[in-house]
Amino acid sequence: MGDLTKDTAFQATTFVVIDFETTTPTGYPAQPIEVAALALRYEDSAWKETGRTASLIRPPAFAPVTPADTAQTGLTAEQLHQAPTPAEALGALDRRLTAGNSYLLVAQHAATEANVIHNQAEHCPTLARTDFLDTIPLAKHLIPGLPNYKLDTLLAHFGIKQPTHRHRAYADVDVTAQVFLQLISAADESAQLNDLAALVKTAGRKAKLNLPVQTGLFDF
């Protein structure tokens, strides 16, 4: 591999690929109904999976699962009725992040996952302060000229098999992780990104809680 994966900051980082399925009630932000996460570290010249988790999440009463949600994900209201609450599911995920370790979340179109996490920050404060890498700008930088940069297009480009349960969080997180590893390999081979700082500059997205607070124009 190239300079990127030799970078000490890169090797010290755990990359947590994350995916949510949501329901989108009118007048409210998207509410999570499933989450999956897969943690990866680059150690001893190879990628290692250091953890994974997946959970259904029971949506609040104002955000019921609709027929459109079921058509997209296969999840039904009956399946989610006894699922953990957002506080339980996201709290459990948050506790898997070890204090003092360096993490970056990885997602396809990270704005979606970032907004879900930000809106649930009371349940996952550590997760809500973890910055993102977005596979879309990374793919645009490394493989320009694709017709679009949707997940299905990237899967086809890299010859990654479509998962059986596409649009389930646990399946989508697996293939997003495969895309991410292909992109890191491409970055190494082309020597376009030489360290973690360059990777973050190209594809990073700050967690909203890490953005500076904008003060009034006439605050003294």
Q: What is the pLDDT of residue 220?
A: 45
199 belongs to a structural domain: yes
215 belongs to a structural domain: no
Please name the amino acid found at residue 21.
E
Q: What is the pLDDT of residue 1?
A: 58
Contact of 32 with 55, CB cutoff 8 Å: no
Q: What is the pLDDT of residue 212?
A: 85
pTM for this predicted structure: 0.94
Contact of 51 with 96, CB cutoff 8 Å: yes
217 belongs to a structural domain: no
Per-residue pLDDT for 215 more than 70?
no
Q: What is the pLDDT of residue 217?
A: 53
28 belongs to a structural domain: yes
pLDDT in tens, 83-92: 999 999 999 9
| CA gap 76, 80 in Å, rounded | 7
Mean per-residue pLDDT, 138-148 = 97
> Which of 20-29, 173-182, 208-217 has the least mean pLDDT?
208-217
Structural domains of the chain, count: 1
Provide the CB-side half-sphere exposure for 20 (13 A, CA): 27
Quote the domain boundaries for residue 128.
3-210
Q: What is the pLDDT of residue 41?
A: 98
For CA atoms 163, 168, 170, 175, give the dihedral sign.
Answer: positive
Q: Which residues pair with residue 134 across a beta bridge?
A: 107
Contact of 19 with 179, CB cutoff 8 Å: no
pLDDT in tens, 91-124: 999 999 998 899 999 999 999 999 999 999 999 9
159 belongs to a structural domain: yes
Residue with tokens 């755990």: 14
219 belongs to a structural domain: no
Per-residue pLDDT for 58 more than 90?
yes
Q: Which residues of 81-103 are buried (b: 16+ CB within 10 A; e: fewer)?
A: eebbebeebbbebbeebeeeeeb
Contact of 117 with 32, CB cutoff 8 Å: no
Strand runs labelled E in 57-200: 102-107, 132-134
Query: Which contacts of 192-198 are long-range, i.e. CB under 8 A and separated by 24 or more positions?
Result: 192/141, 192/142, 193/4, 194/2, 194/3, 194/4, 194/7, 195/3, 195/4, 195/7, 195/9, 195/10, 196/4, 196/7, 196/9, 196/10, 196/13, 197/9, 198/4
Percent of the chain with pLDDT over 90: 91
Mean per-residue pLDDT, 4-9 = 96
User: Mean pLDDT over all residues of the chain?
Assistant: 94
Per-residue pLDDT for 219 more than 70?
no
220 belongs to a structural domain: no
216 belongs to a structural domain: no
| CA gap 93, 91 in Å, rounded | 5
Q: What is the pLDDT of residue 106?
A: 98
- CATH code of residue 165: 3.30.420.10
